[in-house]
């Protein structure tokens, strides 16, 4: 295996060279060894690659610092640092060529653990140090979402409700442990089985305890070994006016209890609104179908209609058509930011199905008095010159 090159020698600068000196040396050498200026010259091509590698390290203050301290082992330490490992506590070592080959054991077991932590972060495996950090620290309870069903009247007026929710809590009988525990004999409680691969010690989860470090001697009779029990809790929630379907109402600290004394999680109540038998909601507006008689539609009338806050009197204009909308301003649902939506009345002209002899006679007289044909426009020529036949093809 070829001996690693000294980056300073590659660029022809001293170890105390400034960034400006390094950049000038790099530009000079690039012009000299660039492959475009040295076609079919393998030696120039290899030299150019060395120059690029040296400049990549020495032009970066952090990489250069690691290189100055650890020589050509800088790359491993750089990857460790990028993965979150603290490499600042590792002792200084002269660059390659001025000391014996790298010896990890000179730094003790902490360095092995650090590398094991790094590798576990890349592979998803747990290590002894990681278990010590995570299991001893308080852990916040999980956030949970449960549905809450309300009616349209609550949307209009708002309300305060007390509801019962079922949450998974740590079992009080076994403190969430699932039963009486004993230390795993395979990993001695670490949860990790270490295997040395050359200079680095790799850790994998213990197959006996599945990385927990402990085994259950006996299961808790209260939770059956799960460590959790279902608990009913009563919570109070304020339902704001104008709330919409799907909105999540957050109750901070009302969720499941944490582990090792950690705080409770949050409880989210996701709003579901029951369909109303009469009103249809569109955003903050309401729609109501209102039946009217033929005389009321033709002659006009004053009628009573319901709202979510009581009844109101409404004037139906004479000549109203079936399907026509009458708008009642500011009589819809409250808006979250203030104001209210509108209430729209959709008129539906109701034609009687059964007529008395007198009614039939009067309607026939009315038909003889009026000669209008509401379908006449169906036979008018269209703008493109074609004439509608009025029949289905």
Task: State the alpha helices, DSSP H only, in the chain.
Answer: 7-11, 19-33, 42-58, 61-70, 74-82, 109-123, 128-136, 152-157, 294-299, 357-369
Q: What is the pLDDT of residue 115?
A: 46
The CA distance from 88 to 334, in Å, is 59
Identify the H or E element spanning 322: none
User: Which of 68-72, 158-162, 376-380 has the least mean pLDDT?
Assistant: 376-380
Beta-strand pair 279-282/214-219: unpaired
Q: What is 138-171+221-275's CATH topology?
A: HSP40/DNAj peptide-binding domain (2.60.260)
pLDDT for residue 13 is more than 50: yes
Q: Contact at 8 Å (CB) between 218 and 182?
A: no
Q: What is 7-106's CATH topology?
A: Helix Hairpins (1.10.287)
Q: Can you state the angle between helices 42-58 and 61-70, rounded to 10 degrees?
A: 100
Q: Cα 133 to the chain's mean position, in Å?
A: 27
Q: What is the pLDDT of residue 85?
A: 58
Q: What is the pLDDT of residue 202?
A: 65
Q: What is the pLDDT of residue 208?
A: 78
3-state secondary structure of 361: helix
Q: Which tokens go with 271?
A: 């709003």
The class of domain 279-379 in CATH terms is mainly beta
pLDDT for residue 113 is more than 50: no
Q: What is the DSSP letter of 278?
A: S
Q: Do domains 7-106 and 138-171+221-275 have the same CATH topology?
A: no
Q: Contact at 8 Å (CB) between 37 and 43?
A: no
The CA distance from 268 to 256, in Å, is 11
259 or 349: which carries more pLDDT confidence? Answer: 349
Q: Contact at 8 Å (CB) between 58 and 67?
A: yes
The domains of the chain are located at 7-106, 107-137+179-219, 138-171+221-275, 279-379
Mean pLDDT taken over the chain: 79
Q: Contact at 8 Å (CB) between 131 and 254?
A: no
Q: Cα 358 to the chain's mean position, in Å?
A: 69
pTM of the entire predicted model: 0.52
Q: What is the pLDDT of residue 2?
A: 56
3-state secondary structure of 273: strand
How many Cα atoms are found within 13 Å in the side-chain-facing hemisphere of 156? 19
> How many of the other CB atoms lie within 10 Å of CB of 181?
17
Mean pLDDT of 170-182: 77
Map 137-160 to HEC letters: CCECCCCEEEEEEECHHHHHHCEE
Q: What is the pLDDT of residue 322?
A: 94
Q: Contact at 8 Å (CB) between 256 and 167?
A: yes
Q: What is the pLDDT of residues 122-150, one digit of tens each?
A: 444 444 344 433 445 788 888 989 999 99
Q: What is the pLDDT of residue 95?
A: 42
Q: What is the pLDDT of residue 116?
A: 43
The CA distance from 335 to 284, in Å, is 6
Closest CA to 190 of 132, 141, 144: 132
Q: What is the pLDDT of residues 154-168, one digit of tens each?
A: 999 999 989 998 888
Q: Which of 138-152, 223-237, 315-329 has the highest mean pLDDT?
A: 315-329
Q: Contact at 8 Å (CB) between 209 and 149?
A: no
Q: What is the DSSP letter of 101?
A: S
Beta-strand pair 267-273/144-150: parallel
Q: What is the DSSP letter of 36?
A: G
Q: Contact at 8 Å (CB) between 342 and 334?
A: no
């Amino acid at each position: 295996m070829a001996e690693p090159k000294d980056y300073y020698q590659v660029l022809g600068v001293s170890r105390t060279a400034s960034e400006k000196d390094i950049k000038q040396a790099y530009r000079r050498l690039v012009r000299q060894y660039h492959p475009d200026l040295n076609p079919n010259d393998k030696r120039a091509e290899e030299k150019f690659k060395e120059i690029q590698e040296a400049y990549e390290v020495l032009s970066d203050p952090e990489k250069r610092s690691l290189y100055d301290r650890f020589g050509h082992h800088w790359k491993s330490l750089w990857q460790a640092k990028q993965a979150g490992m603290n490499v600042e506590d590792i002792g200084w070592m002269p660059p390659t060529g001025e000391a014996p080959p790298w010896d990890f054991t000179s730094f003790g077991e902490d360095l092995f653990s650090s590398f094991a932590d790094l590798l576990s972060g890349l592979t998803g495996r747990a290590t002894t140090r990681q278990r010590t950090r995570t299991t001893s620290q308080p852990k916040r309870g999980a956030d949970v979402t449960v549905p809450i069903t309300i009616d349209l009247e609550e949307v209009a007026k708002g309300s305060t409700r007390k509801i019962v929710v079922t949450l998974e809590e740590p079992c009080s009988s076994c403190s969430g442990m699932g039963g009486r525990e004993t230390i795993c004999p395979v990993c001695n409680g670490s949860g990790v089985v270490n295997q040395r691969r050359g200079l680095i010690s790799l850790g994998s989860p213990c197959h006996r305890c599945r990385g927990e470090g402990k085994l259950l001697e006996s299961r808790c009779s209260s939770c059956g070994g799960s460590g959790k029990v279902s608990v009913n809790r009563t919570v109070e929630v304020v339902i704001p006016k104008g709330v919409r379907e799907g909105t999540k109402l957050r109750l901070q600290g009302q969720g499941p209890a944490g582990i090792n004394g950690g705080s409770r999680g949050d409880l989210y109540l996701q709003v579901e609104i029951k369909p109303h038998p009469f009103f249809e909601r569109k955003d903050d507006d309401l729609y109501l179908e209102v039946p009217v008689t033929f005389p009321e539609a033709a002659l006009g009338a004053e009628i009573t209609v319901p709202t979510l806050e009581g009844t109101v009197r409404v004037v139906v204009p004479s000549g109203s058509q079936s399907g026509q909308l009458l708008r009642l301003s500011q009589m819809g649902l409250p808006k979250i930011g203030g104001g209210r939506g509108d209430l729209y009345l959709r008129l539906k002209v109701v034609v009687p199905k059964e007529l008395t002899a007198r009614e039939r006679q009067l309607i026939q007289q009315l038909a003889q008095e009026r000669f209008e044909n509401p379908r006449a426009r169906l036979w008018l020529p269209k703008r493109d010159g074609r004439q509608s036949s009025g029949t289905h093809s």
